[in-house]
Chains A and B, each alone.
Chain A
Amino acid sequence: MTKPLEPSAYTASELLAVMAARLMRDGQIVFAGIGIPLLAATLAQRQFAPHLTILFEGGTIGPFIVPGELPPSTNEQRCTRRANMVLPITDVLLLLQRGYVDVGFMGGAQIDRFGNLNSSFIGDPARPKIRLPGTGGGNDISSLTQMIVAMKHEKRRFVADVDFITSPGYLHGGMSRAQSGLSHGGMWRVVTDLAIMGFDETTREMKVLALHAGVSRADVLANTGFALRFDPDLETTPPPRPDELAVLRHLDPERLYTA
């Protein structure tokens, strides 16, 4: 048996993409953002999920991305290569509301203990310290389907309460999401360069399900801005394999998203 790769053999972004890809299942319909989500979904397709379909917000069903020609957003012609169908933006988003989509998959700027994402304002919205680009389809995707988020694990990104809920997770925990009218979906997994997190079935608080190889509980806590719990059956993820990294490096040879 070959020796597992050391962390120095891959970047944090590559680790994120590999770990996220392993959460996909064959046959799923995945609404993917640009960057790590797209790379992870494509990696899953190539490794073990040939019947997985990618949807892009720009209005594309089932494209295959040309290696080295990654799209700059979900709305350019590069997103349509070898697609099954192109349709208006409103209609591709309505597939979420109609219930065709298994997983929404995006990056995150700031997340809280209930899995709410903020991509709108840092600070008070009336006098923001930083105005961020906003929801795009993030609010729709996270309101209407089960979510995976891939992001760097940093204290300033993992906060007790986000400044502004752009994309709803479990809102204020417990039943608050369902009570607000969001009857389906919710945050399912948060994948970082340190660990994989899920959410308690009752309290809806974030908890660590698995640590990546070489990462300690203390590492995770030191990079989290709230008291994060650990699952009693805490696991360790197998490190990225050379064949997984080779696919990623083939897809993104210029390291636009995996540097």
Chain B
Amino acid sequence: MVQVKSYATLRKETLARDRGLREKVMSLEEAAARVSDGDHVAIGGCTMSRTPMAMIWALIRAGRKDLTISRSITSTEGDLLFAAKVSQHVITSWFTQGIVWGVSKVMRHYTEHNLARFEEWSHMSMGLRYRAGAMGIPFMPSRSMLGSDVGREVGESLKRMTCPFTGEVLALLPALNPDVALIHVQRCDAFGNAQIDGLQFMDIDMAMAAKSVILTTERIVANDQIRRAPDQTRIPFFAVEAVVEVPFGAAPHECYGLYEPFFDHLDLYARLSAADPIKGPADYLQSYYHGARDWPDYLSKLGLAELIDASRRGRSVYND
């Protein structure tokens, strides 16, 4: 059964954080050191969008262990976190690379052999669990996950109650308060004021629910620029512990307005993982993760032609 963090602990942890307007720019490796073995790590974005891939790449390279991962929908990063033995427990609503590539053989291998756990909640329930966490309340009432086996499969983690006002049956979703949220954005300042273009997914609730936020950003902008359009700021600086500037930090997934998914590379990954759910991702991790000097070297392994094509497609969203 899920443990909901006590309100006293939640308040105490928040008070203990350095909430001053201070610079917090660091390297991927320094940010990775702020994630501890056993942490609950929430991953921002959704499926192949704004996935903080560079940060995940750094955590895998750093050899983190026993992370509990949560995300709205989980794609290739979930495969890799299982394959790299970084996590044996993913809480999510849907887990596979993407519809067009078929069911993930890697997810299947780990879950069907009981090597790892895919804890399934409905998509809205994932969102309301982060929202409850962000609101500082222990649970959220909801009208889905009733009747079905999805609600039954999570056992005592889902409660039912009779509404004291209307007498209706409601599902009660336990709050998620992750230890760390990893979120990739288009721009933020050195303090961590983050602006997000396009789809927000569950990132804002996730950020406000978490004990700490590690931001990776396509670019760092001046605080003055943030202050010229504060209505565009989605995550406030005081929720953020680390800022890492990583251009193409969501590759080979997409980042709204900048690049679409690197489809050729994702086809290659799909072929590798479908051919052998153990050796495929292992070979992939060896050549693209452990075999890369740094993030730019990883990008160069994806290839300049594909990077340019993904950028061309990415920018096309602003065409009329």
Q: How far is the CA of A136 from the CA of B124 in the complex (A)?
A: 8
Query: Is B48 close to A, CB under 8 A?
Result: yes
Size of B's binding interface in residues, CB under 8 A: 62
Q: Interface digits, B167-197 against A, CB 8 Å rule (1 contact, 0 not)?
A: 0111100000000000000000000000000
Contact B124 A137 (CB under 8 A): yes
Query: Is B2 close to A, CB under 8 A?
Result: no
Please pick, from A93, A171, A180, the residue contacting B124 in the complex, using a CB distance under 8 A: A93
Query: Is A128 close to B, CB under 8 A?
Result: yes
Contact B46 A89 (CB under 8 A): yes
| Chain B, Cβ-Cβ closest to A143 | B144
| Given A59-B201, A88-B205, A90-B128: A182 touches B122 (CB 8 Å cut-off) | no
| Given A75-B47, A80-B199, A89-B127: A133 touches B95 (CB 8 Å cut-off) | yes
Please pick, from A34, A87, A180, the residue contacting B99 in the complex, using a CB distance under 8 A: A34
Query: Is B98 close to A, CB under 8 A?
Result: yes
| Chain B, Cβ-Cβ closest to A256 | B100
Query: Is B96 close to A, CB under 8 A?
Result: yes
Contact A180 B146 (CB under 8 A): yes
Please pick, from B114, B205, B256, the residue contacting A77 in the complex, using a CB distance under 8 A: B256
Contact B149 A120 (CB under 8 A): yes
Q: How far is the CA of A96 from the CA of B286 in the complex (A)?
A: 44
List residues of B (31-62) whose CB comes within 8 Å of A's CBs: 46-49
Nearest CB of A to B312, in Å:
13
- B317 contact set on A, CB distance < 8 A: 77-78, 80-81
Q: How far is the CA of A164 from the CA of B200 in the complex (A)?
A: 31
Q: How far is the CA of A77 from the CA of B199 in the complex (A)?
A: 7
Looking at chain A, what size class is its interface with the partner chain? 35 or more
Interface contact tally, CB-CB below 8 A = 191
Contact A76 B47 (CB under 8 A): yes
Please pick, from B123, B128, B203, the residue contacting A135 in the complex, using a CB distance under 8 A: B123
Contact A136 B198 (CB under 8 A): no
Q: Interface digits, A157-179 against B, CB 8 Å rule (1 contact, 0 not)?
A: 00000001111100100001100
Please pick, from A77, A125, A135, the residue contacting B198 in the complex, using a CB distance under 8 A: A77
List residues of A (95-133) whose CB comes within 8 Å of B's CBs: 96-97, 116, 120, 125, 127-133
Contact A72 B147 (CB under 8 A): no
Q: Interface digits, A67-79 against B, CB 8 Å rule (1 contact, 0 not)?
A: 0000011011111
Query: Is B94 close to A, CB under 8 A?
Result: yes
Query: Is A144 close to B, CB under 8 A?
Result: yes
Contact A75 B46 (CB under 8 A): yes
Query: Is B70 close to A, CB under 8 A?
Result: no
Give residues in A with beta carbon < 8 Å to B. 34-35, 57-60, 72-73, 75-81, 86-90, 93-94, 96-97, 116, 120, 125, 127-140, 143-144, 164-168, 171, 176-177, 180-183, 256
15 A-B residue pairs with Cβ-Cβ distance under 8 Å, sorted by A, are A35-B99, A72-B48, A73-B98, A77-B199, A88-B202, A89-B123, A90-B124, A97-B124, A127-B114, A128-B112, A131-B103, A133-B95, A134-B120, A136-B93, A139-B150
